[in-house]
């Protein structure tokens, strides 16, 4: 078993492994598009490596900041996250891409507030679940704040709309609350009550219905809504066990939309085959196991919840992304953590690892 | 209690871990299922959508006149298409496109809206766009341009009825364009190509370099064609004729130098014209030739030795009864020699000559001259004319056929027949194409003169020619065809009644006026037939057609540099077909040194693919160095092919 300092070593190794695989795959998936659009095959890779560098620096910085600091700052951080999310809706600051406002343009840098909001909600939950550990079984202080506060953030994220992040965050809230001991019947009751509301929301967003319909039967309209999923499945099928070889994939040639972001795993499937898919999944499992081990080992309850939450943040997103590209879940529009091209997601994931590492080091000092 | 809570917390965390790890397991199992179990089927499907066999229609070959003047060329134009299913904002796209394509914005938007689900529609074909405009269109998304080739006829209506035209997909629809379509079109190149989802072809070389269609070089001489058309147009207008044809043939080779039609059309704009204007009447339309047929009656009796030009006949003072019919002459003639029967075009004289010749013999000669069957010319829609078998000729029919009624022929047949007299007795196959060359200028197929049969002896043909010169001599019916300045013209006028298609018999007042002949009579260079369909006012062939003949003959001879009576600087070709054929062949082969099949071709500027193709055609060894376009070669083009080793071609 992984014990003591082995856990943090595994955490770092799996993280770096995924980041390295990501950089290679971003190049492999994007060089043709980059060549065609910008006349520079390294266009996306250069930018991606910039984010990797920034992520590394922040990883080191955050691994040296004592995590207990966030406990004190839980509310300010939450407030900041909500303000940032609200700013998206301010014309001129909010940046609209493809029908969704998900980005803030701040001094030439675009930034996804929902990524930061995930951190904020996790910090809040860790703080609040620890603070209410003795009354956790109650309805009012034990259950209600842990769904209402994140619920408000999730509602804002839904409004962007960013369904993928909202779903990830909802699952995160549920799992963290469940782990901390919130009564299951409250959680399940809420879920049942939310069903009609969820249906309303989904049916209001035409694109979601389309995506779901396409998910249920992608082959029905292969040129239309089912296009992405079918192309993704074809990519996996083409890869076979050994893959077509790095850079040799055909599906990324405009068949797979956003091959270097949301559908990078399909290209891994095509170019590196089942072997590559297995390696990437193993790295994520390694990451999940090491993060959970650190959480288990941590005596400090805030640190325990925070480590678990951050680990789950990455793991859930990875799971959902993979499930989507393989047609197990309907499309969401989530990047694959560490691997996909995508600035904020990569940087925030690296920060999360930095914090987990700090918890691993400092968590048992108190 | 505390211990217990901690235990449950640990349990729940481990539970979450186990559940998530098993989810990863599910994901991996799904990957295994997709990649191993369903892998083959999915891979097959993926391959289907990537690989397209792309058919590249080759650029259509050109049509040249005999001096390599371009008569039909293909120019590259842009065609604009849309992929409506990829267009996001169709009203924006149509507003941007409308001014570029000169199409109404609303029309475009309606077209895009009505085919929203389609993957491909043409928006406008064959427009002239600049490169910035093309770029602009490309940026709109969902719309793009492709290069298409459009046929262009630089001389507009010149030889239009002969050359024909093509459809919008550059497929030959009429004339030479149709008959030689498979050469002009060339081979369609099929290439396997990678395709991305936007429909763009990738990883694909030589897109623009499809195998070009071959060039067709006509026997037509642009200048003579122009002379013929101009003279015909003038006469048709002057006499208010319904139509007309002129065919000019080189009598020794059967090569058509000009084939003019009226009415005509502009092949650059076929939609403004109707089929009767496209038709190549000289080949497709048959008519009763009238007195010009007497030439062949004369040839037959002279060849048979039945008569001598000086033998005389009594022409019955203009009225001659055969069975239940009465034949008339336009003038009352008494005794006329055969010579004068032709000179004055006496029908009664012709009838009597015909009686002497007999049905069977006359029929045999008409057949030999090519009447009643297709000439086999390399043009579509040829008509065979009509010549009944002699066993079905009545005595009256023998009489009418003797002066060219009750038989029909095409202009082309008649010119072929007169050429047999002009060239010493050989019926030549009429041809409009001299040779075909590939896009690199190498002659791939050459059409040499074809002798169909010998019809007359050389002596007889000289004798017929001598008699025919009387027609254009003073007092002859074709005097207006005579040339000043020493040339003798052998010819015959014709004024034929037109059969009435509704009633039996002939339509009153409707004539085909014609003149057929060759110049110079002693050393013929040109056989010419002029026909005018339904001239108004004066209608005698000698009055309306003979002057047209004269104009064409005079200007064409001047253009060809033929001078009367031995003053010619380069002796005209002798009457021997064999020699004509040899000189003809030589002139084709020595076009340019580089085109010579026994010389090294010029590979420079070509792609590897086309170099290999050319080398393959010549069984030449080539050593390919590098890739891209050929920049240099050793040995240099035009030199003799080395006995050992091949040609080294360097590409960059």
Cα–Cα distance measured from residue B460 to residue B468, given in angstroms and rounded to the nearest whole number: 12
- On whether any CB of chain A is under 8 Å from the CB of B18, the answer is no
Residues B372, B514, single domain; the answer is yes
Indicate the residue among B196, B216, B236 that finishes a domain. Answer: B216
DSSP string, A36-104: HHHS-TTHHHHHHHHHHHHHHHHHHHHHHS-THHHHHHHHHHHHHHHHHHHHTTSBTTEEEETTEEEEE
Residues B388, B247, single domain; the answer is yes
Residues B191, B239, single domain; the answer is no
> Looking at residue B391, which CATH number applies to its domain?
3.40.710.10
What is the arithmetic mean of pLDDT over B236-249? 95
**Residue A234 predicted with pLDDT over 90:** no
Whether residues B36 and A285 touch (CB distance < 8 A) is answered with no
Domain boundaries of chain A, sorted by first residue: 5-362
Count the domains in chain B: 3
- What's the pLDDT score for residue B193? 57
Model confidence pLDDT, tens digit, residues B566-593: 544 444 444 333 333 333 333 333 333 3
Whether residues B31 and A269 touch (CB distance < 8 A) is answered with yes
Residues B292, B311, single domain; the answer is yes
Q: Tell me which of A227, A253, A290, A300 to substitute to probe the interface with B (most B C-beta atoms closer than 10 Å).
A: A253
Residue in this structure with the two tokens 């080091």, named with its chain if needed = A361
**Residue A76 predicted with pLDDT over 70:** yes
Say what the pTM is. 0.57
**Residue B328 predicted with pLDDT over 50:** yes
What is the arithmetic mean of pLDDT over A214-223? 60
By C-alpha distance, the chain B residue nearest A268 is B31
Confidence at B119, pLDDT banded by 50, 70, 90: low
- On whether any CB of chain A is under 8 Å from the CB of B119, the answer is yes
Q: Which two tokens stand for residue B530?
A: 């002029």
**Residue B596 predicted with pLDDT over 60:** no
Residues B210, B238, single domain; the answer is no
Task: Give this complex's ipTM.
Answer: 0.92
Lowest average pLDDT, out of A236-245, B109-118, B576-585, goes to B576-585
Model confidence pLDDT, tens digit, residues A347-361: 999 999 999 999 998
Residues B275, B419, single domain; the answer is yes
By C-alpha distance, the chain B residue nearest A278 is B28
Residues B480, B333, single domain; the answer is yes
- On whether any CB of chain B is under 8 Å from the CB of A253, the answer is yes
Lowest average pLDDT, out of A271-280, B64-73, B498-507, B561-570, goes to B561-570
Indicate the residue among B198, B216, B234 that finishes a domain. Answer: B216
**Residue A164 predicted with pLDDT over 80:** yes
Query: Which residue in A175, A179, A328 is closest to B30 by CB distance?
Result: A328
Whether residues B34 and A238 touch (CB distance < 8 A) is answered with no
Assigned domain for B577 exists:
no
Query: Which residue in A175, A308, A326 is closest to B31 by CB distance?
Result: A326
Chain A to chain B, count of Cβ pairs less than 8 Å apart?
A: 127
Residues B114, B232, single domain; the answer is no
Which residues of B fall within a CB distance of 8 Å from A295?
Answer: 13
Indicate the residue among B170, B200, B216 that finishes a domain. Answer: B216
Mean pLDDT of chain A: 85
Highest mean pLDDT: which of A27-31, B190-194, B220-224? Answer: B220-224
What is the arithmetic mean of pLDDT over A160-178? 89
**Residue B638 predicted with pLDDT over 80:** no
- What's the pLDDT score for residue A150? 92
- What's the pLDDT score for residue B582? 34
- What's the pLDDT score for residue B205? 42
- What's the pLDDT score for residue B1? 44
Assigned domain for B581 exists:
no
Whether residues A236 and B28 touch (CB distance < 8 A) is answered with no
Question: Which is nearest to A331 in space by CA: A214, A234, A240, A236?
Answer: A214
Residues 144-203 of A with CB under 8 A from B: 175, 178-181
**Residue A95 predicted with pLDDT over 70:** no
> Looking at residue B615, which CATH number applies to its domain?
3.30.10.20
By C-alpha distance, the chain A residue nearest B139 is A37
**Residue A188 predicted with pLDDT over 60:** yes
- On whether any CB of chain A is under 8 Å from the CB of B200, the answer is yes
Cα–Cα distance measured from residue A18 to residue B158, given in angstroms and rounded to the nearest whole number: 73
Q: Tell me which of B5, B19, B20 to substitute to probe the interface with A (most A C-beta atoms closer than 10 Å).
A: B20
Domain range enclosing B637? 595-651
- On whether any CB of chain B is under 8 Å from the CB of A266, the answer is no
Model confidence pLDDT, tens digit, residues B264-310: 999 998 888 988 899 999 999 999 999 999 999 999 999 999 999 99
Highest mean pLDDT: which of A84-93, A106-115, B230-239? Answer: B230-239
Whether residues A250 and B46 touch (CB distance < 8 A) is answered with yes
Residues B208, B245, single domain; the answer is no
B170 is annotated as an active-site residue: no
- CA distance to B211, B215, B589, B607, B615, per residue, from B599 (Å): 22, 20, 12, 20, 11
Catalytic residue among B79, B291, B514, B610: B291
Question: Which is nearest to A284 in space by CA: A7, A14, A1, A12?
Answer: A14
Cα–Cα distance measured from residue B93 to residue B109, given in angstroms and rounded to the nearest whole number: 8
Assigned domain for B347 exists:
yes
Query: Which residue in B14, B23, B45 is closest to A319 by CB distance?
Result: B23
The answer to whether B81 and B63 are in contact (CB under 8 A) is no
């Amino acid at each position: 078993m992984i014990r003591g300092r082995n856990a943090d070593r595994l955490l770092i190794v799996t993280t770096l492994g995924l980041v390295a695989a990501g950089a290679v795959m971003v190049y492999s998936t994007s060089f043709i598009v980059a060549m065609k659009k910008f006349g520079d095959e390294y266009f996306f890779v250069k930018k991606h490596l910039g984010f990797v560098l920034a992520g590394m620096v922040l990883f080191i910085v955050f691994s040296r900041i004592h995590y207990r600091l966030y406990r004190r700052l839980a509310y300010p951080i939450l407030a900041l996250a909500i303000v940032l999310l609200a700013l998206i809706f301010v014309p001129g600051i909010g940046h609209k891409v493809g029908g969704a406002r998900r980005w803030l343009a701040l001094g030439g840098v675009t930034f996804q507030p929902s990524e930061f909001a995930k951190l904020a909600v996790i910090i809040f939950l860790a703080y609040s679940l620890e603070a209410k550990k003795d009354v956790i079984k109650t309805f009012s202080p034990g259950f209600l704040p842990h769904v209402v506060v994140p619920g408000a953030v999730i509602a804002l994220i839904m409004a962007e709309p960013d369904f993928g992040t909202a779903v990830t965050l909802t699952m995160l809230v549920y799992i963290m609350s469940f782990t901390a001991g919130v009564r299951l019947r409250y959680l399940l009751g809420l879920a049942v009550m939310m069903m009609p509301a969820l249906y309303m929301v989904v049916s209001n967003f035409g694109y979601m219905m389309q995506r779901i319909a396409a998910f249920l039967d992608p082959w029905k309209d292969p040129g239309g809504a089912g296009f992405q999923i079918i192309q993704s499945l074809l990519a996996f099928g083409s890869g076979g066990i050994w893959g077509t070889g790095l850079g040799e994939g055909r599906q990324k040639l405009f068949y797979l939309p956003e091959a270097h972001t949301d559908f990078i795993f399909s290209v891994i499937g095509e170019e590196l085959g089942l072997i590559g898919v297995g390696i990437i999944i193993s790295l994520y499992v390694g990451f999940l196991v090491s993060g959970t081990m650190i959480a288990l080992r941590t005596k400090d309850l805030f640190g325990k919840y925070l480590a678990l939450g951050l680990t789950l943040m990455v793991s859930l997103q990875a799971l959902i992304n993979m499930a989507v590209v393989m047609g197990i879940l309907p499309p969401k529009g989530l990047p694959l953590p560490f691997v996909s091209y995508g600035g904020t997601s990569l940087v925030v994931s690296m920060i999360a690892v930095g914090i987990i590492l700090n918890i691993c080091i400092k968590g048992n000092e108190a | 209690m505390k211990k217990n809570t901690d235990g449950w917390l640990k349990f729940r965390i481990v539970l979450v871990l186990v559940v998530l790890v098993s989810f990863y397991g599910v994901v991996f199992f799904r990957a295994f299922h997709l990649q191993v179990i369903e892998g083959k089927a999915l891979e097959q499907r993926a391959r289907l959508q990537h690989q397209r066999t792309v058919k590249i229609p080759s650029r259509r070959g050109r049509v040249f006149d005999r001096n390599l003047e371009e008569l039909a060329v293909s120019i590259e134009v842009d065609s604009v298409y849309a992929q409506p299913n990829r267009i996001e904002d169709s009203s924006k796209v149509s507003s941007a496109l409308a001014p570029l394509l000169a199409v109404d914005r609303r029309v475009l938007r309606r077209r895009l809206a009505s085919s929203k689900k389609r993957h491909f529609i043409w928006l406008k074909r064959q427009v002239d766009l600049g490169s910035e405009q093309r770029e602009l269109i490309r940026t709109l998304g969902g719309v793009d341009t492709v290069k298409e080739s459009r046929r262009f006829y630089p001389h507009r209506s010149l030889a239009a009825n002969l050359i024909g035209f093509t459809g919008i997909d550059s497929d030959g629809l009429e004339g030479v364009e149709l008959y030689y379509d498979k050469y002009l079109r060339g081979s369609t190149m099929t290439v396997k190509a990678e395709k991305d989802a936007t429909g763009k072809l990738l990883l694909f070389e030589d897109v623009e370099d499809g195998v070009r269609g071959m060039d067709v070089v006509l026997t037509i001489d642009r200048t003579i064609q122009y002379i013929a058309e101009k003279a015909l147009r003038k006469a048709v207008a002057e006499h208010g004729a319904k139509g007309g044809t002129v065919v000019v043939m080189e009598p020794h080779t059967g090569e058509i130098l000009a084939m003019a039609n009226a009415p005509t059309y502009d092949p650059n704009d076929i939609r403004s014209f109707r089929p009767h204007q496209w038709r190549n009447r000289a080949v497709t339309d048959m008519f009763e030739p009238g007195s010009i047929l007497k030439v062949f009656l004369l040839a037959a009796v002279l060849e048979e030795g039945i008569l001598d030009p000086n033998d005389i006949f009594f022409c019955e003072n203009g009225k001659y009864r055969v069975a239940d019919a009465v034949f008339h002459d336009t003038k009352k003639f008494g005794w006329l020699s055969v010579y004068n029967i032709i000179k004055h075009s006496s029908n009664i004289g012709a009838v009597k000559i015909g009686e002497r010749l007999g049905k069977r013999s006359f029929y045999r000669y008409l057949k030999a001259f090519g009447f009643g069957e297709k000439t086999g010319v390399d043009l579509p829609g040829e008509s065979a004319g009509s010549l009944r078998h002699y066993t079905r000729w009545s005595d009256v029919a023998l009489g009418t056929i003797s002066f060219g009624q009750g038989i029909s022929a095409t202009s082309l047949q008649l010119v072929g027949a007169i050429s047999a007299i002009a060239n010493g007795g050989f019926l030549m196959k009429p041809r409009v194409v001299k040779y075909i060359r590939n896009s690199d200028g190498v002659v791939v197929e050459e059409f040499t003169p074809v002798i169909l049969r010998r019809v007359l002896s050389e002596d007889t043909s000289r004798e017929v020619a001598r008699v025919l010169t009387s027609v254009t001599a003073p007092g002859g019916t074709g005097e207006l065809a005579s040339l000043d300045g020493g040339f003798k013209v052998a010819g015959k006028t014709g004024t034929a009644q037109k059969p009435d298609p509704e009633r039996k018999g002939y339509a009153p007042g409707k004539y085909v006026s014609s003149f057929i002949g060759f110049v110079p009579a002693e050393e013929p260079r040109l056989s010419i037939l002029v026909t005018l369909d339904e001239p108004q006012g004066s209608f005698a062939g000698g009055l309306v057609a003979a002057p047209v003949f004269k104009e064409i003959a005079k200007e064409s001879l001047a253009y060809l540099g033929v001078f009367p009576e031995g003053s010619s600087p380069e002796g005209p070709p002798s009457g021997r077909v064999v020699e004509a054929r040899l000189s003809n062949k030589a002139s084709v082969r020595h076009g340019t040194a580089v085109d010579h099949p026994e010389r090294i071709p010029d590979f420079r500027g070509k792609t590897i693919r086309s170099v290999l193709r050319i080398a393959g055609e010549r069984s030449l060894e080539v050593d390919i160095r590098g890739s891209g376009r050929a920049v240099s070669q050793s040995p240099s083009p035009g030199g003799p092919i080395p006995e050992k080793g091949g040609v080294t071609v360097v590409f960059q």
